[in-house]
Amino acid sequence: MDEENSRYSNPYLTGVMLGLVLLASFLLLGAGLGASGGLARLAAYIEGLLVPSHTHASEYFGAWGNNPLNYYLVYMLIGIFLGGLFSAVSNKRVSFGLERGKSASIGIRTAFALAGGVLVGFASRLAGGCTSGQALSGGALLLTGSFVFLICIFAGGYAAAFWVGRQWND
């Protein structure tokens, strides 16, 4: 594991690369990067499969029409997955398993991951974006809301870190 970590690229240069991808997104698409937008579309699609009439009648998902997957951020999310897969495979970093501290139980880690997901999914909708779409993209545009969001992410994260740290205990 440690040997693998050392093979990660220089974080600063990787950041520059990410920044250039974001810049390209601004100049070509006219919008920043986004991951939660595609995820929410997927959520709308899934809810639409389960309870179609209810979903289409709902105020938030309903506005996306009968085919919520027909949206550029869905394609971007697919791209993120495939790009990540390509990089992980070519760097031999694919390993199936649940990442957790050695002394943390699978149950705890799974529960935290699930609860964290629910919170993040909800919060992303409330903020109209996640770390990529709101914090990073909006931050690069110097939008006030994005800075407020970013600062509050760190505030919330550091405030909760102590209580959920045991999942990483070795």
The first and second tokens of residue 135, run together, are 């914090």
Site string for other proteins, 112-151 (x = CB under 8 A): xxxxxxxxxxxxxxxxxxxxx-xxxxxxxxxxxxxxxxxx
Q: Does 107 bind other proteins (CB under 8 A)?
A: no
Minimum separation from the CB atom of position 103 to other proteins (A):
14
Minimum separation from the CB atom of position 111 to other proteins (A):
9
The first and second tokens of residue 66, run together, are 């009968």
Pick between residue 91 and residue 103 the one whose CB is nearest to other proteins: 91
Phi, then psi, of 70 in degrees rounded to 5: -80, 75
Q: Does 9 bind other proteins (CB under 8 A)?
A: yes
Q: Total binding residues for other proteins by CB under 8 A?
A: 127
**Could you identify the residue written with the tokens 């791209």?**
79
Residues 42-101 touching other proteins, rule: CB under 8 A, are: 42-44, 46-47, 55, 58-61, 70-88, 91, 93-101
Q: Which of 49, 53, 107, 158 contacts other proteins by CB under 8 A? A: 158
From first CA to last CA, the distance across the chain in angstroms is 14
What is the torsional sign of CA 119, 160, 19, 94?
Answer: negative
Instruction: Please give the Cα distance from 122 to 116 (Å, whole number).
Output: 10
